[in-house]
Chain A
Amino acid sequence: MFNKTAFSAKHIQSVTLYLGLLFISGPGFALNIFACEPEWQALAHEIAGPDVEVYVATSAQQDPHHVQPRPSLISAVRRADVVFCTGAGLEAGWLPVLLSKGSNPRVQRAPGLFLAAEQVTLLEKPIVLDRADGDVHASGNPHVHLDPRRMLIIAQALSARLAEIDPNNATLYQNRLASFSQRWESNIETWQSQARTLKGATVIVHHRSWSYLLDWLALEQVGELEPKPGIPPTPTHLAKLINVAETQRPYAIIYTNYNGDKAANWLAERSSVCALALPFTVETTNSNAASFDINKHPLDELFNTIISKLLAERGACTHD
Chain B
Amino acid sequence: MRKQIVSFSYATALAAIAIPSYALEDLNKFNPAISVIFDGLYYHDNVKGTGPELLEQHNSVLHSDVHDHDEHAHDALTSGFNVRETEIVMSGTVDPYFDAFLTAALSGDGIELEEAWFQSRNLPAGLQLKGGKFLSGFGYHNEKHTHSWDFADQNLAYLSLLGDHGLSGNGLQLTWLAPTPFFIQLGAELLQGEELEKFGAMLDNEELAEEISAEFDPNGNGEFSVEELNFDSKSGPHLSVAFARFGPDLGTDHALQFGASVAHHNDTQSFHEESSGEAFAAQGHANLYGIQAVFKRFPPSDYGKGGYSLQGEYLRFDADERATFHTDSTEIGLPISFKQDAAYVQGSYGFAPRWQLALRTAAAGIGGTLREGNEQTETGISRQHSIALSWYATEFSRLRLQFSRNDINFGTHDIDTSQDGNFNQVFLQYNLSLGAHGAHTF
Contacts and interface: CB of A to CB of B under 8 A. Distances in A.
Interface of A: 56-59, 61-63, 66-72, 74-76, 78-79, 89, 92-97, 100-105, 108, 131, 134-135, 230-232, 257-260, 286-287
A92 B396 CA distance: 13
Contact of A74 (B177, B396, B439): B177
B9 to A, nearest CB: 21
A134 B394 CA distance: 8
Given A75-B182, A75-B184, 7 more contacts: A59-B252, A68-B298, A69-B442, A96-B439, A105-B122, A105-B123, A257-B301
Interface string B78-120: 0000000000000000000001000000000000000000010
B296 A70 contact: yes
6 contacts: A61-B252, A63-B301, A71-B183, A93-B439, A97-B442, A232-B302
Interface residues of B, number: 49
A257 to B, nearest CB: 7
B399 interface: no
B54 to A, nearest CB: 36
Contacts of A71: 183, 185, 245, 247, 255, 257, 442
Contacts of B395: 66, 93, 135, 230
A75 B303 contact: no
B48 interface: no
Nearest to B434: A131
A231 B176 CA distance: 39
B124 interface: yes
Given A59-B252, A62-B298, A287-B251, A75 B181 contact: yes
A62 B304 contact: no
A139 to B, nearest CB: 12
Contacts of B257: 71
B284 to A, nearest CB: 36
Contacts of B181: 75-76, 79
Nearest to B250: A72
A273 B354 CA distance: 28
Contacts of B441: 69, 97, 101
B299 interface: yes
Contacts of B177: 74-75, 78, 101-103
B442 A68 contact: yes
Interface in B364-405: 394-396
Contacts of A66: 299, 304, 395
A92 B437 contact: yes
B252 A103 contact: no
Interface string B169-180: 000000111111
Contact of A103 (B128, B248, B251): B128
B287 to A, nearest CB: 26
Contact of B301 (A58, A94, A95, A258): A258
B253 interface: yes
A67 B249 CA distance: 15
B123 to A, nearest CB: 7
Contacts of A92: 437, 439
B305 interface: yes
B236 interface: no
Most buried by A among B119, B249, B250, B255: B249
Contacts of A69: 439-442
A59 B394 contact: no
Contacts of A260: 301-302, 305, 353
Contacts of A230: 394-395
